[in-house]
């Protein structure tokens, strides 16, 4: 009985520590993106003309494709998590694979976006406008790469080489991070490319 109580306390402590760490990570990242957004808003609303200096707006096709990809990947991750929690390993593998491929697809769409920006004359070092677009998309892309790497840490859960509790913690935390990236991109898409 004592061993079971100690194991339950240890499991609760692991869940709590992991949850606190993820909350701190998401708060830190929120502050990073909020700071960048504040600078963008200050620049955007003090400019007489938008986009500034007669620059063209970025074409919407690639940012829209990126938005669809990341929103669908958030949905597939939701199904990844629910299938893991209901212990449906086959579904878990399918939705995990889809999420991973969509994450890679998002990064590919970002590379095409950067090439497209260059083709329209928007470079990182040309104007503040270009710097803002590249800064936002590069920083977000770096975090998506981190999310793709975090997805790889779920592989032991796919193969059954991690106990269910630890797998549950990993799946929930990676999910929070993945959904956060989707929300951030959605905000960036509307702030930078639509308005």
pLDDT in tens, 128-155: 888 999 999 999 999 999 999 999 999 9
Q: What is the pLDDT of residue 14?
A: 73
Q: What is the pLDDT of residue 11?
A: 66
Distance set, CA 77 to CA 74, 91, 97, 101, 184 (Å): 5, 11, 10, 11, 16
Task: Determine whether domain 32-42+59-194 maps to CATH 3.20.190.10.
Answer: no
Q: Round to whole Å and give the CA distance between 129 and 136.
A: 11
Mean pLDDT of 75-81: 97
Return the percentage of the chain with pLDDT > 90, whole number: 65
pLDDT in tens, 108-134: 999 999 999 999 888 998 888 889 999
Check whether 49 has a pLDDT greater than 70. yes
Q: Round to whole Å and give the CA distance between 149 and 162.
A: 17
């Amino acid at each position: 009985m004592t061993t079971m109580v100690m194991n339950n306390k240890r499991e609760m402590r692991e869940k709590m520590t992991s949850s606190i760490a993820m909350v701190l990570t998401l708060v830190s990242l929120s502050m990073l993106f909020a700071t960048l957004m504040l600078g963008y808003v200050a620049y955007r609303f003090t400019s007489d003309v938008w986009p500034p200096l007669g620059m063209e707006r970025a074409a919407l096709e690639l940012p829209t494709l990126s938005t669809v990809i990341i929103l669908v990947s958030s949905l597939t991750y939701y199904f990844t998590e629910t299938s893991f929690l209901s212990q449906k390993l086959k579904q878990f593998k399918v939705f995990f694979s889809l999420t991973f491929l969509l994450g890679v697809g998002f990064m590919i769409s970002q590379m095409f976006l950067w090439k497209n920006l260059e083709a329209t004359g928007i470079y990182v070092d040309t104007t503040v406008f270009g710097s803002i677009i590249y800064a936002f998309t590069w920083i977000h892309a770096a975090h998506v790469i981190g999310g793709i790497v975090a997805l790889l840490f779920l592989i032991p859960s796919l193969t059954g080489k991690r106990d269910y509790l630890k797998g549950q913690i990993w799946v929930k935390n990676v999910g929070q991070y993945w959904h956060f990236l989707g929300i951030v991109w959605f905000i960036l898409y509307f702030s930078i490319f639509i308005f």
